[in-house]
Amino acid sequence: MENKKRWLLLALSTVECLLCTGVTFGLSALTIALKRDGQFSEFCYDDDNDDDDECNAQKLKFNAMYTAGTVSVPLSMMFWGSLIDKKGVKFTRAVSLCLFTVGCVLFAESDSKRFDGFVAACVFLGAGGAGFFLSHFQFCEHWRHTKYFGMSHSVTNMAFDSSTVTFYAFEAIHKAGVCSVRQLFYGLAGISVAFIISTNKYVWGAYLDPPLSNDDDCDDGKNDSMMENGVEDDVDNAQDNSRAKKALEYGGAPLTRMKFTEQVRTPFFWTIAAWSLGSIYRSMFILGSIFEQMLYNNDGRSTKDANSYVRLFNALILMSTFLTPLFGLFVDKFGLAPGFSLVNVLGIISYAGVLWNHDEVSLSIAFLAFGCFRAWNYSCLTIYVQGVFGNATFGQLYGIGIGTFAVLSGCMQYPSMHLVLKEGDGDFLVVDLLMICIGVILFAFPAWIRKNGVFGGHGS
């Protein structure tokens, strides 16, 4: 019965993350509905635009909304991570959903002509959604002694990545004339309130609390380390599993017993930090330069052709949604070293395909590879951080530790584009080759974690 409830709660977690976490990343679709309603059209008083539907001033307003909503996600995670570790999941869920609800109401009541609260609304939506997303990983910790720990992480990350579909659905409903933008956001606010109400023992039971730690049983070989990941029996039989290994140690002390300030000084943290900087930077650079790459990497391609490839890119990267749970099962069976290696191979394929993009087939392969590279990389990151360092400091290590490098990666985006477009006259060759070289160097990380016995998988 407990097994069934855990699976049902994983399904509920997926729905929660789809509707109330990373929705701001789908703002590009929602802006179509906003333009249909004439939002910010009053700024288009010039006749110097060839596009009758949109002017530069209007574009900048929508861009400000997108920037505010997306930047608030990694920045707020630094706060949410610490709050989760100190106040717990129940408190964090309530506070983050309250912020998300405020964002929904603010968006519903906003109008560019009488009350422009769109940017503030996006900040509330982004920050609230980020906290709600992070709060789900304690539930993943309850899967640690099952054969599906990696899968639970992958499903959670998949739902977050796929939450952009919420605003795509909003735009389609709005276009059909079923609901106004105001009604849609009040409906989303109601769903958010329902999730607040459901945050109780009747729905979640013991899963709102951290699972009992087995660190004290290290001498008996019965603890929650993730070495030999994928070979444990189900949670009911985990304590009888003789193949469980001792927790990873550094300086003679188990990593799961260390304080956050001690954990960040270990090579287990700095190696994953270096991986994060290199891998997240590569994913963000493609996302921020895909149109220019499609246009400049092929001299015979027109702007119209580049736009069509960008639409193909956005469609194909979402295909990773259906494959991500399978990747989690792959990590559960074989371990994180092969998982990180596969992610790195996909990253290199992405840049090789985008750099030498001459036909639709090779580009489609590159786009599919990139979608999996981006989604699966975040799955590996959360599995590693929680698996190696434990649940007690997961919020701080992921929100502050990994989050810092995510923000740095974002900050590197503009100077990289400036270097290519201003200094390199749109030639991406050097930068793309550099990204491939970074990928080759990063193979040292999965080799290192395998050597140090992290997530060995079967047969290690």
Per-residue pLDDT tens for 205-245?
Answer: 999 998 865 444 343 333 344 433 433 344 444 433 333 34
- Cβ atoms within 10 Å, residue 218: 17
| Alpha-carbon span 347 to 285, nearest angstrom | 12
112 neighbors 39 (Cβ within 8 angstroms)? yes
- Rank 8-12, 208-212, 222-226, 283-287 by mean pLDDT and report only the highest: 8-12
Burial 320-346 (b: 16+ CB within 10 A, else e): bbebbbebbebbbbbbbbbbbbbbbeb
Domain 2-208 has CATH 1.20.1250.20: yes
Query: Is the pLDDT at 156 greater than 70, yes or no?
Result: yes
Alpha carbon separation from 324 to 73, 152, 248, 327 (Å, rounded): 22, 10, 27, 5
Backbone angles phi, psi at 254, to 5 degrees: -60, 135
Q: How far apart are the first and last CA of the chain?
A: 33
Query: Is the pLDDT at 191 greater than 70, yes or no?
Result: yes
pLDDT interval class at 358 (50, 70, 90): low
| Alpha-carbon span 184 to 170, nearest angstrom | 7
For residues 244 and 201, the model is more confident at 201
- What integer is the mean pLDDT of 116-120? 93
| Alpha-carbon span 215 to 247, nearest angstrom | 8
pTM, two decimal places: 0.82
| Alpha-carbon span 118 to 124, nearest angstrom | 10
Residue 254: beta bridge partners? Answer: 249
The helix-helix angle for 320-334 and 336-355 (nearest 10°) equals 140
Nearest to 271 by CA among 390, 444, 153: 444
Burial 183-208 (b: 16+ CB within 10 A, else e): ebbbebbebbeebbeebeeeebeebb
| Domain 260-451, CATH among 3.40.50.1000, 3.30.450.40, 1.20.1250.20, 3.40.50.1370 | 1.20.1250.20
373 neighbors 286 (Cβ within 8 angstroms)? no
Residue 115: beta bridge partners? Answer: 111
pLDDT for 218: 40
Separation of CA 449 from chain center: 22
pLDDT for 268: 95
| Alpha-carbon span 65 to 249, nearest angstrom | 45
Domain with CATH 1.20.1250.20 in the chain: 2-208, 260-451
Backbone angles phi, psi at 111, to 5 degrees: -155, 130
Q: What is the pLDDT of residues 417-429, one digit of tens each?
A: 777 777 666 677 8
Residue 253: beta bridge partners? Answer: 250
Query: Is the pLDDT at 319 greater than 90, yes or no?
Result: no
The full DSSP string for 318-378 is GGHHHHHHHHHHHHHHH-HHHHHHHHHHHHHHHHHHHHT--SHHHHHHHHHHHHHHHHHHH
Q: Which amino acid is at 279?
A: S
